[in-house]
Chain A
Amino acid sequence: MSFMKVMNRILIGLFAVFIGGISILHPLTKDIYFSESENRVLAQMPKFTWKQLASGNFTKEFESYVSDQFIKKGFWTGTKSVVEKAVGKRENNGVYFGKDGYLFERFEKPGEQLNSNVDYMNRFSGKIKGANTFLMLVPTSIEMYPEKLPRFAYTESEKYWMDVIQQLLNPSTTWLNAYNPLWEAKDEPIYFRTDHHWTTHGAFIAYQNAANAMGFQAFMKEDFTIETVSKNFFGTYDAKANDFTVKADKIEMYVPKFDVSYRVEFNDDTQVMDSLYAHDFLQKRDQYSFFLNGNHGKVVINSSVKNGRKLLVVKDSYAHALVPFLANHYEEIHMIDLRYYHEKLDNYIEKETISDVLFLYNIATFSEDPNLIWLNQ
C-alpha cells in the first residue's frame, strides 16, 4: 500500500469517526435547557405532528434544536471566534475586540425614536408641577476609549447626540452632566471590559457630580469601605464576543462607614430585602443583577435617612449601580422601569408626594427604547 493510500484511509477514518461519533453521542447526551454562558433558553426537541411537518415548522425547529444542543457547542464556537480573531477579524456578533481586553458595542445612529423620547419627556415634565425633574444620560464604554478600538471600527458619536438632546430638552428639566466627569476619570475602571454596564466606581463619579444640582452633599470615597465581591464576572459583551482570551471583570461594593439601613420592596411588596445587593447573583452568569436584584417593574427603597425627601427614578439598568448612593440622601426612592411598569406616572407622583424625578438611562437605551411612550398617559 502506498503512503498516499494510508493517508487517505486515516483521513476517511477520522472523518467517519467525527461525523458518526457526533451523531451517535448526540442522543446519548442530555439536552440542556438554559445556557448560562449565552444567557438564553436553548431550543428543545420539537413535538412532532403532521400539521407541524406540513407547515415546515417542524424541520425549522428541528434545525435550531440540533444547532443549539450540539455537543460541546461552546468549544466549537469559541474556537471559531479565536481563530477568526487570529486571522484579523475585529468583531463578533456586533462586539468589537478592543485593546487591553476591552470589548465594545457599536453605538448606532439614532432614528426617530430619540426625538419621540425627548418629546415624551418634555410633555411629561410640563405636566407635573411641584416636582423637580432631572435627566442624566450616561455614555457607554465605546465613547470613552476611541484609542482602544480596532482600526477602522465605526461608531456614531454619543457626545453629539447627547448635545442634541440637551438642546431639545425642556429647560425646566435639569441636565445632569455625566459625560465630562467620566471622561476625566477614564483612566480609572469606570466601565466593565466585558459587559455593557458601568462599574460601581463609574456610578460613584456620576453621583458625586450630580449632588449639587440635586441638592445634597455627596459622600466622599473615604466614607465607604470598598469590597471586591466578585473577580469572575463575564458580562453581556463577553457572551456575544465569545472570546476565550478575555479576562474576567471584578465587581466592587461600596459599604457605608456611617450608620444607615434600608428596606427594599419589589413589585408592590411581593418580595422584600433589607439590602441593596443580591449576593446570589454573583454565583450566576448575570452578575450585574447583584445591584438591586436585577430588573423589576417597580422597586421602593425606604432608608433610615429621615429627611422626608422622596425621589422617583425612571430608568434602565444603569441606575442599579448608582441608586445605592442616592439611597443615603433620600428617605424614599421609587424606581420605575417603563419597560415593565405601565401605570400613569403623574398620578403616582401626586399620590406618593414625590419631590424629585430623575430620568437615568445610558444613551444607547434612551435613543432606542420604545417604552417612554408610557409617560404620555
Chain B
Amino acid sequence: MTTTMAGPRSNRGRRSTWLWRVVAVAFCAVMVFPVYWMVNSSFEPNSQITSLTPSFFPAHFTFHNFVDAVDRPWFWDDARNSLVIVVTAVVLVLVVAFLAAAAVARFRLWGAKAFLVLVLVVQMVPTAALVIPLFLILNRAKLTDTYAGLVLTYVTLTLPFTIWMLRGFVKAVPIDLEEAAMVDGASRMGAFRRILFPLVLPGVISTGVFSFITAWNDFLYVNVIMTQNYHQTLPVWLFSFSTNTGTDYGGLMAGCVLFSLPVVVFFLFVQRRIVTGLTAGAVKG
C-alpha cells in the first residue's frame, strides 16, 4: 500500500505515484461521462437536445423535464411501492443470507457443500425462463398482486448470490477473533453478532447494495406479478416514456435521473462503510 520508498528509489516512486494519479483521473472521467451526460441532458429543453451541436453543460437550464416526468401517471405510487418492497426484501435477504453464510463457513455442516453448489446452480437458470412458473406458484398461494409476493420473489432471486458473496467475506475474516471471544465466555451466536458481524459489515453492505439494485431494477417480474397500476414499481413508469410516436429524450433522461437518485443516495449513505477497511483495522488492533 505504501508507495514512497526510502533512499535512491524514492525518485522513481514519486514519478510512478504521479503516473497512477493521472491514470486514476483519466479513468474516472471516462467512467463518469455517461452519468454526466444523462444529468446534462435532463436539464436541457428538448429543442436544445435535438440540435446538431450538443452543449457539454446545460446552457439553457430548465426543470421542465422533471416537472413533466413527475406529472406522469402513477409516479408517486410507483415510487412508494418500489421503496417499500425493495427495502423490505433487502433487509430480509441479508438476515437470511448472513445466517446461512455463517453456518456454512463456520461449522462442519453435513451437506453444506451440496447446498452451496445447489444454490449456485439455481443462479444459473435464466430469470426470464422462471417468470411463468413463479407466477403460477404465487398465484396458487394467493400472493400475486401483493407486496408480499413481490418481496418474496426478490428475496429468493437475490438469495443465492447473497449467500455466496457473504460466505466469501466471512471466510476472509480469521476465525481466531471469534474463538478468543468464546474463550472469554461468549456464546456462538454472541460471537457471530458481536465479533463476526461488525467485521464483515463492509461485505454485508456491498452485498446488500447489490441486492438492492437488482430488485430496484426489475421490470420482468413486477410486470407479471403486479396487475394493478397502483401496485407497480418505478421501472414500469420509466418504460412508459417511449411511445410509438417517438421518444421524449429530455423527459426520459429526467426519468432516468429520478429513478437512479434513490440508489445514489443509498450508496452515498453507506459509501464510507463500503470503502473503509473496517476489518483491516480490527485485525491489526
Partners in one complex: no
- Chain B interface residues (CB < 8 Å from chain A): none
- Chain A interface residues (CB < 8 Å from chain B): none
